[in-house]
């Protein structure tokens, strides 16, 4: 099969979309089209249909998602449209146009009650509307697109772009002397830049470029494990911010959506299949903080 020449990235204003945009110049042989909601509105079935009447690409990387986890509890229809029905439609278009599709999913498809890192075929049991909508999206893609699809579940995404835990902690750390952060939710942060690099590494393999590669699910996050409390402490240490962090339990910080207490992802499959080296989460965080510091200087 010919190498992938034209890639469409949805959700271009999100963290992963912007991270892919930042490394696109490293792939001069590939034409990238980055679309935000104004270009391709995934909340509208008609808008998706109309867009693909006029556009044909080799690969769609679907970074777009409804990610407001708590808000989804009160907006289930919208979350379902973007995270499930739009994915179903993209899968149907990919099948019809013979296009490959990489779709980004989440650790929230699991119930978070396990004691070892989740592998791709572990039982799923989402605990929130967001998690349920993302799972339905996965299932629709797997049903429609037997070949040429790839689902990557990830967790705790942050970057130098948009709103995320790292940027929130940096802001609050400057504003306050002390913070309470949850310590009984454990997982691994994912630097969106590293995930973007991993996606492009996959795209450039012969395996992925084959005509009929079977659709599969993979897990990707940075290496290592921490709680949100550990994450916050490390952000302040690496940034030399003097803010006292106290550990609290999830029950002390109630939210509309239930989050998994344990959502460590086993990444053996993606590492073996695509020979990907994954950075340790503290090293990745250090890289992100450096990027944020450089942005402030310009």
Catalytic residues: 130
> How big is the CA angle at 86 (ends 83 and 88), to the nearest 5 degrees?
95
Angle between the 192-203 and 281-297 helix axes, to the nearest 10 degrees?
110
Contacts of 272 (CB under 8 A, 6+ apart): none
Asked if residue 83 lies in contact with residue 66, where contact means CB atoms within 8 angstroms, the answer is: yes
Nearest to 145 by CA among 63, 40, 216, 199: 216
Question: What pairs with residue 246 in β-bridges?
Answer: 180
Phi, psi of 123 (to 5 degrees): -60, 140
Question: What pairs with residue 151 in β-bridges?
Answer: 103, 217
Q: For residue 152, give the H/E element and its range.
A: strand 149-154
Asked if residue 83 lies in contact with residue 65, where contact means CB atoms within 8 angstroms, the answer is: yes
Q: Which residues of 70-106 are buried (b: 16+ CB within 10 A; e: fewer)?
A: eebbeeeeebbbbbbbbbbbbbbbbbeeebbbbbbbb
Question: What pairs with residue 106 in β-bridges?
Answer: 154
DSSP letters for 240-286: T---EEEEE-GGGS--SS---SB--B--HHHHHHH-----BHHHHHH
């Amino acid at each position: 099969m010919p190498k992938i020449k034209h890639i469409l990235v949805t959700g271009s204003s999100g963290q992963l979309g912007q991270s892919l945009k930042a490394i696109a110049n490293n792939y001069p042989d590939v034409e990238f089209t980055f679309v935000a909601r104004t270009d391709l509105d995934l909340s509208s079935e008609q808008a998706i249909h109309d867009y693909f009447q006029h556009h044909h690409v080799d690969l769609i990387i679907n970074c777009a998602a409804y990610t407001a986890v708590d808000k989804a509890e009160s907006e289930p229809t919208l979350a379902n449209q973007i995270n499930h029905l739009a994915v179903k439609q993209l899968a149907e278009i990919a099948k019809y146009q013979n296009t490959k599709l990489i779709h980004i999913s989440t650790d929230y498809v699991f119930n978070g009650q396990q004691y070892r890192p989740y592998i791709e075929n572990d039982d799923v049991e989402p605990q929130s509307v967001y998690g349920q909508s993302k799972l339905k999206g996965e299932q629709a893609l797997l049903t429609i697109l037997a070949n040429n699809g790839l689902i990557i579940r990830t967790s705790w995404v942050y970057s130098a772009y948009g709103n995320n835990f790292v940027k929130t902690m940096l802001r609050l750390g400057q504003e306050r002397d002390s913070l309470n952060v949850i310590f009984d939710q454990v997982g691994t942060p994912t630097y969106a830049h590293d995930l973007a690099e991993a996606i492009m590494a996959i795209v450039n393999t012969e395996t992925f470029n084959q005509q009929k590669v079977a659709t599969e699910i993979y897990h990707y996050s940075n290496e290592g494990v921490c709680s949100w409390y550990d994450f916050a402490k490390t952000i302040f240490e690496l940034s030399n911010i003097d803010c006292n962090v106290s550990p609290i339990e999830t029950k002390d910080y109630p939210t509309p959506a239930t989050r998994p207490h344990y959502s460590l992802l086993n990444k053996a499959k993606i590492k073996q299949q695509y020979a990907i080296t994954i950075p340790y989460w503290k090293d990745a965080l250090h890289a992100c903080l450096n990027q944020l510091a450089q942005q402030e200087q310009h």
